[in-house]
Amino acid sequence: MAALSDIKRRIKSVKNTQQITKAMKMVSAAKLRRAQEDIAAARPYADKMSEMIASLAGKVSGDSHPLFSKEATGKSEIIVIASDRGLCGGFNSGLFRVAERFLVENNDSEISLDLIGKRSIEYFKRRDAGEVKAALPIGNKRPDYELAASIASGIIDNYLSDGGTDEVYIVYSEFQSALVQTPTIKKILPMEPPEEEEAEQSQLLFEPSPEGVLDSLLPKYVEVEIFRALLESAASEHGARMTSMDSASKNASSMIDSLTLQYNRARQASITKELMEIIGGAEAIQ
């Protein structure tokens, strides 16, 4: 049986770990709340933009606009948004599984990668998945629009150039609740033409022209999509970390319980042993 002092030391170390996991859980809960507020704050802009695109879609002849279709070039680009830090359960591994599946299913086209978050950079460093176009850590601050714009910039240029990519996908964790985050793959370019709006919209005047407005909306649309994915991913990360730290704290509790039991048994055993020795000694004298 382990010595008493050993068990005592283990209990102490598990207690320390539990304190850390508890603190991390609290921090994640606070950050999650803020991330959810960010998502809500970004919604009006994104909604309005989709509305504008929808009302424009009917105006532009057919599917001619690059926003809705592009000649096949056999090249596609995929943006993988993971986290910078670990200790968030299956958050990153779930994402990478989705990304891997996509890479396998589309191995006939030339795929380039944009990696966001240190975890995805490290993960894809070890495999030969495709050309890495960009590798950006997220950093400690909350995702801001500038980050999204800087990611989007290269992607748009590449998509709009002749012989560039013909499809752009984004892999991120969709935030559903603090407990549920779904790794998702979404095609952002070309965009599915939205349903046509009802007749009243046809009275709209456009400046400079429907095509001109759509041209300038394309990069913004990509930025908004990436920004939203970044925000969702941030919220998911905090949610995943909160849940995994919660279960880590619970595990620590049950470990402390069983170690305490073990400690008490050992203590009792040694007391009994000492008593037996004393009694044995006393009997020997008589």
Partner 1 sequence: MAETFLLEIVTPTELLFSDQVDIFTAPGCEGEFGVLSGHTNYLVVLRPGELRYTQSGTETSLFVNGGYSEVTPEKTTILIEGAIPTSEINASQAHEDLKGAEEELAALTEGEAGYREVRDRFDIAQAKITFTELRKGH
Catalytic residue among 82, 88, 155, 170: 88
Least distance CB 101 / partner 1 (angstroms): 29
Instruction: Decide if residue 54 touches partner 1 (CB under 8 A).
Output: no
> Pick from 68, 58, 46: which is nearest to 192 by CA?
68
Interface residue with partner 1 among 14, 27, 29, 49 (CB under 8 A) is: 49
- Is position 206 annotated as part of the catalytic site? no
Instruction: Decide if residue 101 touches partner 1 (CB under 8 A).
Output: no
Q: Which two tokens stand for residue 213?
A: 């407005």
Instruction: Decide if residue 159 touches partner 1 (CB under 8 A).
Output: no
- Burial pattern 17-45, b for ≥16 Cβ within 10 A else e, equals bbeebbebbeebbebbeebbebeeebeee
Interface residue with partner 1 among 154, 176, 180, 261 (CB under 8 A) is: 154
Q: Which two tokens stand for residue 119?
A: 């975890």
Instruction: Decide if residue 66 touches partner 1 (CB under 8 A).
Output: no
Give the orientation angle of helix 91-105 with respect to helix 118-125, to 10 degrees: 50
Interface residue with partner 1 among 17, 50, 73, 153 (CB under 8 A) is: 153
- Distance, in Å, from the CA atom of 258 to the CA atom of 184, rounded to the nearest integer, reads 40
Q: Which residue has the tokens 């603090």?
A: 178
Instruction: Decide if residue 144 touches partner 1 (CB under 8 A).
Output: yes
Instruction: For the segment 200-239, give every residue that binds partner 1 (CB under 8 A).
Output: 201, 203-208, 212-213, 216-217, 219-220, 223-224, 227
Q: Taking the CA of residue 135 as centre, how many other CA atoms within 13 Å lie in the half-sphere pointing to its CB?
A: 11
Confirm if 166 and 111 have CB atoms less than 8 A apart.
no
Q: Which residues bind partner 1 (CB under 8 A)?
A: 38, 41-42, 44-46, 48-49, 51-52, 55-56, 144-145, 148-150, 153-154, 156-158, 160-161, 201, 203-208, 212-213, 216-217, 219-220, 223-224, 227
Annotated catalytic sites, by residue? 88
